[in-house]
Amino acid sequence: GTVSAQAALPPEATLYKNPQCGCCDEYARHLEKLGVDVTIIDDVELGDIKQQAGVPYGLGSCHTIEIGEYWVEGHLPMEAVKALFEQQPKIDGIGLAGMPIGTPGMPGPQDGPYDVYAFTD
């Protein structure tokens, strides 16, 4: 039979976000649709978490997710998250700076390719 790409995703994730941010909750729902159980932690000290994750300075977004062995920063397309676990590169995480329109949790049409970056601590 066929193996679903979803099998590659870990069963749980923790999403750290600014308490005022609503689009982060929306992003969590996208992960949950893929079968990931997401714990949301409201934390105003996101800088400490991003530093711990190794997110490059200036490339942060409104939320940081710990999923499996990796960190996911920002509104990454689900395809990028799936690819991370299918390929399992030797990195600490991937990110998408800012809050681009058209990404999961950010409504609107995509206005160009997303600049996904990888990082290691």
In a domain, 106, yes or no: yes
In a domain, 113, yes or no: yes
Q: Residue 4: its pLDDT value, please?
A: 52
Task: Find the CATH number of the domain harbouring 69.
Answer: 3.40.30
Q: Which two structure tokens, joined as six digits, stand for 29?
A: 């729902």
In a domain, 2, yes or no: no
In a domain, 1, yes or no: no
Write out the chain's pLDDT in tens, 121 residues.
Answer: 445 544 579 999 999 998 888 888 999 999 999 999 999 999 878 999 999 999 999 899 999 999 999 999 999 999 999 999 999 999 999 999 988 899 999 889 988 888 999 999 7
In a domain, 69, yes or no: yes
Q: Residue 6: its pLDDT value, please?
A: 47
> What is the extent of the structural domain holding 48?
9-119
- Number of domains forming the structure of the chain: 1
In a domain, 86, yes or no: yes
φ, ψ at 86 (rounded to 5°): -75, -40
Cα separation, 83 vs 88, in Å, equals 8
Q: Structure pTM? A: 0.89
